[in-house]
């Protein structure tokens, strides 16, 4: 019975949004809205968890809403249940965080009505079972999140981000609309059951694949459609950023999976997988390279979302390639890796954004160059952020490692693919994945080190205070989940099994929780296995032993020497290592090619009082070669067409007349 309940919970969220419109200016409204959202998301989470864990049969429901001849179809199956877990977990934690964080909101009347509506929109996308309901909910989700991005619209950067987001969202929905139109065919079978039953020609299916890649990819942030994401996600309030980055991109991935794996059925050509794989690899590396160049904490995280979407799409591409060659066991592994990473990314990216929100509340700064030393005033936030950073950098025993390890295991199976191009492509993508993992680690050393370690670089950072208890509970919930998913991956993989089975023609990984010592051994006959619990035990034991040994055997004799100045003899905080210094070596290696990075040193002549300046100029290749030409073409065309606005009335009539005659002539000659 969970489906009607879930729908009514979504309706309840919408009602809360309407209630918030009326009362947003009251001081107590924020707390009320967020606690109700928390309760609703919590109930929904429990409902879908039981649905997934008991592996219940799919439930369907048709309501006499939407288009009169179609009705609104809803369906709850394993795939939507899994994504509903991601959405409602993220929603619950973000609401919990906002119980404290929302008190600092400058314009609550611009946030409170849209926050529950945004959650409801995401829930409805996942429950939709016909094209109209899906697109309606998708667009509703886009628009509410756009409203949240525009919450602080007085800042011109936010307004620009919102505009770009709106354009890209429209583009994405348009391509999805075309994709569904193609799948529904001339008879207009728009409910998903009819689409699944229908047969498609390989050519049409390939067009649908590309349209789905464009539509879902533009929402998820696939390079080169990612340009709006690093602008829009940071512009929203932090708990909304956490939802957009951690959860909404996953809803976009859901759209892709639903269309390509479920509705289209079996992939019809091997190049499908190759295309997705290559895009994923490029996205992963470019995302993390962009992230390294950023000194704005939230934008850095947003670029990391792009990277992680790349990793997810690598998994999906591998699954498509395996499925096209009927290697379902390998496809199950790749799919498990992708789904696991979806869950993981939603956990640690939400955690990191919430941590950034805490820093933002405490200092009012997002620019790393003005932070520093926050571990002293905010030790708990620092610990939670560190766990998130370790998780996203794929360090064992946390969860990021497991899913990336599974992805690598899947890549190691690709030599069995018959197509030579894939044989070569997959290891190359594997190298890209390894590179991006290493760069991500470098990036988070920078993010954590510059923000939390060292000495404060600005007065605001000096006066920071630990964040409130709600926010800490929210962050530590996520941190604990990151750790749990890392040390008990077998349980997660087992609960993913029905989802994988649904997408993979029934084939799924072997049951993991029966393995001895909760080891994760995805391929039974191979020797590769991972045990997070043992890694944690080993780390704890060796760490304790090392500490004991040092304390026991280190010399206690006093020595005399110069006082250590911690590496900077000049006492000014400005002489510390900065975020820019961290990024500089990597910028030298990659940036000069990818971003055409140019450094310019302006040294004033002796006697001139001006300071010396070091300027770094970066260019975005995607913007320069992808978007700028399109923008120029649109502007050129509209300038050309502009004089159509100033014709005389007779010219307009002549245009109408000419068009009519040409059409009629065409009609007469055509037949």
Contacting positions for another protein (CB under 8 A)? 643, 646, 648-650, 653-654, 656-657, 660-661, 664-665, 667-668, 671
- Whole-number Å distance between alpha carbons of 76 and 55: 11
Considering the complex, what minimum distance in angstroms separates the CB of residue 310 from another protein? 51
Considering the complex, what minimum distance in angstroms separates the CB of residue 632 from another protein? 24
Give 551 or 650: the residue with its C-beta nearer to another protein. 650
Considering the complex, what minimum distance in angstroms separates the CB of residue 69 from another protein? 24
Alpha carbon of 370 to those of 117, 233, 302, 378, 452: distances in Å?
35, 21, 19, 16, 11
Q: Tokens 């091997």: give the residue.
A: 270
Give 27 or 669: the residue with its C-beta nearer to another protein. 669
Give 613 or 651: the residue with its C-beta nearer to another protein. 651
Considering the complex, what minimum distance in angstroms separates the CB of residue 656 from another protein? 7
Q: Which two tokens stand for residue 561?
A: 């020497």
Considering the complex, what minimum distance in angstroms separates the CB of residue 669 from another protein? 9
Considering the complex, what minimum distance in angstroms separates the CB of residue 653 from another protein? 5
Is-contact 399 348, C-beta < 8 A? yes
- Whole-number Å distance between alpha carbons of 259 and 278: 19
Considering the complex, what minimum distance in angstroms separates the CB of residue 641 from another protein? 13
Give 57 or 660: the residue with its C-beta nearer to another protein. 660
Considering the complex, what minimum distance in angstroms separates the CB of residue 150 from another protein? 36
DSSP line for 57-107: PPEEEEES-SSTTT-EEEEE-HHHHHHHHHHHHHHHHHHHHHHHHGGG-S-
Considering the complex, what minimum distance in angstroms separates the CB of residue 97 from another protein? 57
Is-contact 220 248, C-beta < 8 A? no
Residues 6+ apart with CB under 8 A from 122: 87, 91, 141, 247, 248, 251
Give 538 or 652: the residue with its C-beta nearer to another protein. 652
Give 546 or 644: the residue with its C-beta nearer to another protein. 644
Give 187 or 642: the residue with its C-beta nearer to another protein. 642
CA 312, chain centre distance (Å): 10
Give 593 or 669: the residue with its C-beta nearer to another protein. 669
Considering the complex, what minimum distance in angstroms separates the CB of residue 638 from another protein? 17
Angle at 262 between CA 258 and CA 267, to 5 degrees: 115
Give 551 or 671: the residue with its C-beta nearer to another protein. 671
Considering the complex, what minimum distance in angstroms separates the CB of residue 637 from another protein? 18
- Is residue 530 classed as helix, strand or coil in its secondary structure? strand
Beta pairing, strands 613-617 & 598-602:
antiparallel
Please state whether 454 falls in left (phi above 0), alpha (psi between -120 and 50) or beta: left
- Whole-number Å distance between alpha carbons of 518 and 321: 30
Give 560 or 640: the residue with its C-beta nearer to another protein. 640
Is-contact 158 235, C-beta < 8 A? yes
Q: Which of 107, 104, 124 is nearest to 116 (CA)?
A: 124
Considering the complex, what minimum distance in angstroms separates the CB of residue 657 from another protein? 5
Give 54 or 645: the residue with its C-beta nearer to another protein. 645
Please state whether 555 falls in left (phi above 0), alpha (psi between -120 and 50) or beta: beta
DSSP line for 150-162: GGGTTSHHHHHHH
> Alpha helices, DSSP H only, in 221-327?
229-235, 238-243, 249-257, 271-293, 297-324
Give 633 or 660: the residue with its C-beta nearer to another protein. 660
Is-contact 456 465, C-beta < 8 A? no
If 0-12 CB within 10 Å is exposed, 13-18 middle and 19+ buried, where does residue 560 land?
exposed
Considering the complex, what minimum distance in angstroms separates the CB of residue 649 from another protein? 6
Give 547 or 665: the residue with its C-beta nearer to another protein. 665
Considering the complex, what minimum distance in angstroms separates the CB of residue 642 from another protein? 11
Q: Which of 616, 578, 99 is nearest to 357 (CA)?
A: 99
If 0-12 CB within 10 Å is exposed, 13-18 middle and 19+ buried, where does residue 380 land?
middle
Beta pairing, strands 59-63 & 613-617:
unpaired
Is-contact 361 466, C-beta < 8 A? no
Please state whether 597 falls in left (phi above 0), alpha (psi between -120 and 50) or beta: beta
């Amino acid at each position: 019975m969970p489906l009607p309940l879930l729908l009514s919970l979504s309706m309840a969220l919408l009602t809360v949004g309407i209630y918030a419109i009326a009362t947003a200016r009251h001081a107590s409204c924020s707390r009320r809205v967020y606690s109700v959202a928390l309760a609703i998301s919590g109930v929904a989470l429990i409902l879908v968890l039981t649905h997934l864990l008991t592996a219940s049969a799919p439930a369907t429901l048709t309501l006499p809403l939407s288009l009169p001849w179609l009705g609104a179809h809803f369906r709850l199956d394993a795939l939507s249940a899994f994504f509903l877990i991601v959405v409602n977990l993220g929603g619950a934690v973000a609401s919990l965080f906002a119980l404290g964080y929302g008190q600092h909101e400058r314009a609550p009347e611009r946030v409170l009505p849209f926050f529950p509506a945004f959650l409801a929109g995401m829930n409805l996308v996942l429950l939709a079972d016909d094209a109209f309901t899906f697109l309606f909910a998708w667009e509703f989700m886009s628009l509410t999140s756009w409203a949240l991005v525009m919450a602080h619209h007085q800042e011109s950067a936010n307004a620009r981000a919102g505009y770009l987001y709106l354009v890209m969202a429209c583009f994405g929905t348009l391509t999805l609309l075309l994709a569904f139109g193609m799948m529904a065919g001339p008879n207009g079978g728009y409910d998903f059951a009819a689409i699944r039953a229908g047969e498609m020609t390989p050519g049409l299916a390939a067009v649908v694949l590309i349209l789905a890649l464009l539509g879902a990819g533009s929402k998820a942030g696939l390079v080169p459609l990612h340009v709006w994401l690093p602008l829009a996600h940071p512009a929203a309030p932090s708990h909304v950023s956490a939802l957009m980055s951690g959860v909404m991109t996953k809803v976009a991935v859901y759209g892709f999976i639903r269309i390509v794996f479920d509705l289209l059925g079996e992939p019809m050509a091997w190049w499908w997988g190759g295309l997705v794989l290559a895009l994923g690899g490029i996205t992963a590396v470019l995302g993390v390279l962009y992230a390294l160049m950023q000194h704005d904490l939230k934008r850095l995280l947003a670029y990391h979302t792009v990277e992680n979407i790349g990793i997810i799409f690598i998994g999906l591409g591998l699954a498509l390639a395996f499925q096209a060659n009927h290697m379902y066991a390998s496809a199950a592994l790749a799919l498990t890796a992708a789904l696991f990473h979806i869950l993981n990314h939603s956990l640690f990216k939400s955690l990191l954004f919430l941590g950034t929100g805490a820093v933002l509340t405490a200092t009012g700064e997002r620019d790393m160059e003005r932070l520093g030393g926050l571990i002293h005033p905010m030790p708990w936030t620092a610990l939670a952020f560190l766990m998130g950073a370790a998780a996203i950098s794929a360090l064992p025993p946390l969860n990021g490692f497991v899913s990336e390890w599974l992805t690598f295991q899947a890549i190691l199976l690709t030599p069995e693919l018959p197509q030579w191009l894939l044989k070569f492509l997959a290891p190359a993508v594997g190298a890209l994945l390894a590179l991006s993992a290493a760069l991500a680690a470098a990036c988070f050393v920078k993010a954590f080190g510059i923000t939390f370690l060292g000495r404060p670089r600005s007065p605001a950072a000096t006066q920071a205070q630990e964040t409130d208890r709600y926010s800490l509970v929210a962050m530590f919930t996520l941190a604990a989940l990151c750790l749990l998913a890392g040390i008990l991956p077998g349980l997660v993989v087992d609960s993913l099994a029905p989802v994988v089975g649904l997408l993979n023609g029934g084939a799924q990984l072997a049951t993991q929780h029966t393995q001895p010592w909760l080891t994760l051994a995805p391929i039974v006959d191979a020797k590769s296995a991972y045990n997070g619990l043992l890694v944690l035990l080993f780390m704890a034991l060796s760490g304790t032993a090392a500490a004991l040994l040092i304390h026991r055997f280190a010399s206690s004799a006093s020595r005399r020497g110069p006082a250590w100045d911690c590496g900077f003899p000049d006492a000014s905080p400005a002489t510390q290592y900065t975020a820019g210094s961290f990024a500089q070596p990597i910028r030298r290696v990659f940036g000069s090619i990818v971003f055409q990075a140019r450094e310019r040193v302006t040294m004033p002549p002796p006697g001139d009082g001006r300071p010396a300046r070091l300027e770094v100029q970066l260019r975005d290749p995607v913007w320069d070669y992808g978007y700028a030409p399109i923008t120029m073409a649109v502007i050129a065309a509209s300038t050309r067409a502009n004089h159509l606005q100033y014709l005389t009335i007779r010219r307009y009539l002549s245009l109408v007349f000419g068009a009519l005659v040409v059409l009629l002539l065409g009609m007469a000659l055509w037949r």
